[in-house]
Amino acid sequence: MTAPVENQIEGKLARKLAPVVREMLLAEIERLAAPTVAKPKASKADDDIMEACRMVASAADGLAQAKFGPGEIAARKSLERAATVLGRAMRKHGRMPG
């Protein structure tokens, strides 16, 4: 006996929600269809410098892990080499004086 009442309530609710859902869907479709802004491509200089930065960070991590252990000297030398490569890359691309 309650089915007709429930159907009426659901019908009224659906009619009230339809415009709201429609607007939400249209907004989402517009957002998805909008052209995406392409990120500017990094230059060769930026790529070189960032690679050298990653090498320095990796070497610094290695030194921190080897601190006061048998591999500390090798890790320290690795960090020095990586820092030298970073300095060279930055000077090569005019990002560091000297």
Distance between CA atoms of residues 37 and 87, nearest Å: 33
Position 98 scores a pLDDT of 63
For 41: left if phi > 0, alpha if psi spans -120 to 50, otherwise beta; the answer is beta
What's the CA gap between 67 and 5, in Å, rounded? Answer: 76
- Residue 4, pLDDT score: 72
Would you state the structure tokens that stand for residue 40, as one six-digit string? Answer: 């500017």
Of 7, 5, 96, which is closest to residue 52 (Cα–Cα)?
96
Half-sphere exposure of 89 (CA within 13 A, CB side): 19
pLDDT tens digits for 57-86? 999 999 999 988 889 999 999 999 999 999
pTM over 0.85: no
CA–CA separation, 73 and 77 (whole Å): 6
